[in-house]
Structure formats: C-alpha cells, structure tokens
Chain A
Amino acid sequence: MRATVFTKTLRDNRRSLIGWTAGTTLAAAMYASFYPQMATGGAESVQNFPEAMREAFHLDDLTSAAGYLQSSVFGLILPLLALFYGAATGARATAGDEESGTLDLLLAHPVTRTRLILQRFGALTAGACGIAAAVWIAMLGIRESADLTSISPLEFLAQCLNLALLAVAFGALAMGIGAATGRRALVFAATAGIGILTYAAHTFAGRLGAEWAAYFSPFHYYIGGEPLKHGIQWGDAGVLAAASAALVVAGTYRFNHRDLNA
C-alpha cells in the first residue's frame, strides 16, 4: 500500500517514459558520435563564427572531447530535453489530474495530498534517473568508437547525475506551480518560460556583464562546474537537489491549504 501511487504513476507513464528515454539517448549518442569529424574539420569552421557566439556557446574548445560535448550534446540538446521532460511530467503530476477531474477520486481515498505529491515526485525523479542512466550507458557504449576516451566513465556519470538533477529541478518547479495553482497549461508555459530564460541567463550572463545572473540559473549548477572535466561537483548537485526540495515543499504546502478545483 505504501508506494501504490508511485508504482501506478510509473506504470501509467511507461510509454511516455520509454519515449523520453529512447529519444534522449538516441540524440545524445548520435551527436556525441560526431565528435571525431568535429575534432578534425569542424573546429576550424567555427573559428569564422563571431567571437560573441563562440564565447556564449563555449565553441572555443571544440577539439577536446569534453569541450565538444559541453557545447553541444550536454550543453544544449540534453539540458533542453531535460527541461521539457521536467515541465511535461511535472505538469501532469497533479495539475493534469486536477484539471481532468481524476484527482477528486484519488483524494477521496485514504491518501493525503502530501503523500500523493511526494510519490508522484518520486516517480518523476525515478524517470529522470532512468533517462540519465540510459544516456550514461550510451556514452560508455560509444566512448571507444567516438574517441571520447579522454573522459572517464566517472566523469560521464557526474554529468549524467547533473542531467538527472536538472530534469528533477524543472520537474519540481512544474509540480510546485501545478500543486499551487492546479492549472496545467499555466504550469507548462511557466516552467518552459522560466527554463528558457534561465538558459539564456546562463549562456549570456558573461557577455552582458552580469555574471551574477548565472547564479540564478539551474543550468549554471548543471554544467558550470564542468563535470566532464572535473568529475562530480557535489556543491552544484547539492544546490539543484536543495532547490528541487524547496519547490516541492512550497508547492505541497500551498496544495494542502487550498481548495481543489472542481
């Protein structure tokens, strides 16, 4: 009985979760395996890009494996996928059910609102970890063939851990807004909007002379410590985890103190 909602949520979402995992892993493996071509030819063509763009997207270090992955696969594609996984899954967590009316049925059972949120959040986190684990395994799989041996398996793991935490953080944001408002469209739009803004803050803060802005961006804690070069960044991971917890707690508090929408 204890984890009923958790297992049911994972089961109900199995198709979409398989889709996210397959899509994310495939994209990661495909772009990462371009590295050998990039290392030889691509890096020179990038030299013709404007300096501002090279700096913003960290394109100056495309010849090293870590530099390439940080600017493309792990710097752009995967974090944006993680953002949208978190926004979509988090929006569904309670706001989707509340809007469709199925939340009434669940909460008429001996389940507290807190337990419902925590188990749904647990399912979201498990999904994020599954996706990140699949990406990690894919990286290990192509590590030899794509000339990525300069990055150790542990360093890949460190970046994948942060990827999971990034997805969890945006999932927590979406769940928090959803629990507080119960409006799914608002949740998705707000989460995606905040995601894009904070991505921009992380990418362009230095260019705009506002380095401080990056500290408000989850993306800074996701990749700013360059886990692909320096391994696990406990501080950054801790910030993402703590922010996620705070968002879920705040959302749960509001959820427990408001009327459910009819």
Chain B
Amino acid sequence: MENAIELRELTKTYGSRRGLAGLTLDVRVGEVFGYLGPNGAGKSTTIRLLLDLIRPTVGRATVLGLDPRADGVELRCRLGYLAGDFVVDGRQRVRDCLRFLADLRGGVPQQRIDDLTDRLGLDQNAHIKKLSKGNRQKIGLVQAFMHTPELLILDEPTSGLDPLVQQTFLDLVTEAAANGQTVFMSSHIMDEVEAVADRVGILRDGRLVALDSVAQLRAGAVREIEITFAEPVRAEEFARLPGVRTLVLDPAGTTLRGQLTGEPDALVKAAARHHVTALRASEPTLDGLFHAYYADAEAAPRSTAAV
C-alpha cells in the first residue's frame, strides 16, 4: 500500500448543488497532507465521504486500501477523526466521554489518554457542558490521537484553540508523522498547514485547483506590501522588479503599496537605497494564493489533479 487515501473521480451532488466535482487525489502513506480551501469548497464533504458518513454520487474512495463502506469497521479501527464542528454530549465528564470512546475501540491505555490531556491542558474531571469551545476541541483532538491510528483525518483541527495549544497540536502532528502515521488535515488557514504539511491541495468549488509541496505554493503566494519612505521616491524604480505584481505610489510619493509574489529580495534591496521609515508585509493569504493559481490556470492550463 503506497497511498493512504486514493480518490478517483469522486463526485458528490446534493440535489442540484454540487459538493464535489470529479475529485482525483492521492495522499501518500506517511505524509502530512494539508487540504486547503475556503468554507464551502467541499473539504468537509470529502472527509465525510472518507468516513462513510455520506456516500459518493459517482466515483470511488479507497482509504488504507479499504472501501469505506464495505470495510467500514476495520477502516475506522485504523483511523482517527476530528470533525469540523466537533460536538459531544455535554452531560458527562471529560473522563467518561474519553473512556466511552476508547471502549468503542476496544480500549486505549489510560496512560496514553492522561498524557494527551496533560499536554493539551485538559481537565478530565470537568463537565463538558461547562467547557469553552477551545477546551471541547481538545477532547476532539485527544480522541482522534489516543489510539495512535495509522491515519489521522482532521477537519479544521485548530478552530477555537489558543495559540499555545495550537503549537502543541502542531507538535502532535509532527510526532505522528515521525512515527510513520499519515495525517490528512483540512484548513482554511494557510499558516497552520504550511508549518507541518509536506504537500498541500487546494480545493475550490469542489475541484482541486492546486496540488504541490508547501515550498512551491509559497513561492506563488501573494503578499500585500506597504513601504513608507522619508523622502518621495519614483515609481519606476520599483515597477519592474521580479515578483512585483501591482505597485502604486501615493500622491505624496512617499508610500508604496502593492502585491508581491515569491521572494521579496529585489524589492527590499531597491527600497534599501532610500530611507525606509516603515515596512509592512502581510502573510500570504489563501485568497491571494487562489488568485495566483487562477491567473496561472487561465494563462497556461496546468495539471491540477494528482497522478
């Protein structure tokens, strides 16, 4: 088995609405795969298909070499899942909830559960209904990781988590990958994915619009940039630099605003010839990334599906 997940022409329609349109994608065993897309792109639809919570209209999904429907029980023994909107019955303690879920899997060592809750800072004696959204999300993480599954399928795993816990989560993913586990995680935030993912697929309107390594995607991403100078500068100096997409100088001639793809090296060196009083660059946004890929797709159609 080479691929942990194989999707072939996977299509899901809801009435007249299309959830997924002929998605073909391979996720290799042992890799961390980031599944990116705006809300409504079809990320959760894909994931729910992998778990046999819903069934494809057309096409086929193979997970760990198994059919999600025919071999559902064996498959679900071997994977851990965190739902996008993780909800759990509030009328119980964290400990009882985790114990029950572990029992459904035929048992998980208590030590392993304790380790995970300690690391995430989750109190097992707490009543779930009294927990914040972030703390409930921790329960979701613990139940997904606790049996050390071969494959982790995580739908928006960091939603509601504070930055410190997000880091712990990223550590867990890194450890899982080092342990040979495959991680398939969806997100609409580029940052958290690029920190841990080997490859990233970008989904839009039920189609895969990009599939590449993180480094390659980053190179194509768009940053908003703003440079303020002490003295007015000339726009021509900057307009033709590599990576510069659009650049506008304000009427006073001291503030340069625009968009940049790839390395900022040339722009920074050009700016350094002047007295720079302020420099602001946004993180590459997913939206910018989409536009970059759409521009590419129109100019020169590229292979967007995995082979």
Q: How many residues of B contact A (CB 8 A)?
A: 29
Q: Please report the C-alpha to C-alpha distance between residue A212 and residue B48 in the assembled complex, in whole angstroms.
A: 48
- Chain A residues within CB distance 8 Å of chain B: 1, 4-5, 8, 12, 97, 100-102, 104-112, 259-260, 262
What residue of chain A has the Cβ atom nearest to residue B155's Cβ? A104
Is B83 in the interface zone, CB < 8 Å from A? yes
User: Known contacts A1-B104, A1-B107, A4-B104; is A108 also within 8 Å of B55 by CB?
Assistant: no
Q: A1-B106, A262-B48 are in contact. Are A109 and B101 (CB under 8 A)?
A: yes
Contact of A101 among B83, B91, B106 (CB under 8 A): B83
List 16 other contacts, CB 8 Å, given A101-B83, A108-B51. A1-B106, A4-B103, A12-B92, A97-B89, A102-B87, A104-B53, A105-B87, A108-B83, A109-B76, A109-B104, A110-B105, A110-B106, A111-B104, A260-B53, A260-B54, A262-B48
- State A104–B153 Cα separation when bound (angstroms): 13
Contacts of A105 in B (CB 8 A): 81, 83, 86-88, 101, 143
- The reply on B85 being an interface residue by CB < 8 A is yes
Contact of B100 among A4, A97, A112 (CB under 8 A): A4
Interfacial chain A residues near B48, Cβ < 8 Å: 104, 260, 262
Enumerate B43-102 residues with CB–CB distance to A below 8 Å.
Answer: 44, 48, 51-55, 72-74, 76-77, 81, 83, 85-89, 91-92, 100-101
15 A-B pairs within 8 Å (CB atoms) are namely A97-B89, A100-B87, A101-B85, A101-B87, A102-B87, A104-B48, A105-B143, A108-B53, A108-B83, A109-B76, A109-B104, A110-B73, A111-B76, A111-B104, A262-B48
Residue among A109, A110, A111 with the most chain B CB within 10 A? A109
Q: Chain B residues with Cβ under 8 A from A112's Cβ?
A: 72-73
Which residues of chain A are near B73, meaning CB under 8 Å?
110-112
Shortest CB distance A118–B (Å): 14
A260 CB contacts on chain B under 8 angstroms: 48, 53-54
- Give the distance in Å from the alpha carbon of A260 to the alpha carbon of B53 in the complex: 6
Chain B, residues 165-199, CB within 8 Å of chain A (1/0): the string is 00000000000000000000000000000000000
Residues of A within 8 A of B72 (CB): 112
Residues of B within 8 A of A4 (CB): 100, 103-104
Query: Is the CB–CB distance between B104 and A110 below 8 Å?
Result: yes
Report the Cα distance A166→B48, complex, angstroms. Answer: 37
Q: Which listed residue, A1, A12, A104, touches B83 by the CB 8 Å rule?
A: A104
CB contacts (< 8 Å) of A262 on chain B: these are: 44, 48
Looking across the interface, which residue of chain A has its beta carbon closest to that of B92?
Answer: A12
CA distance A97 to B44 in the complex (A): 19
Residue of A nearest to B86 (CB): A105
State the CA gap A109–B89 with chains docked (Å): 16
A104 to chain B, nearest CB (A): 5
Docked CA distance A102–B76 (Å): 16
Separation in Å of the A210 CB from the closest CB of chain B?
Answer: 41
Q: Which of B53, B54, B77, B92 is close to A110, meaning CB atoms less than 8 Å apart? A: B77
Nearest chain B residue, comparing its CB with the CB of A115: B73
Contact B85 A12 (CB under 8 A): no
- Could you give, for residues 130-151 of chain B, a 1 whenever the CB lies within 8 Å of some chain A CB and a 0 otherwise? 0000000000000100000000
* Cβ-closest chain A residue relative to B106: A1
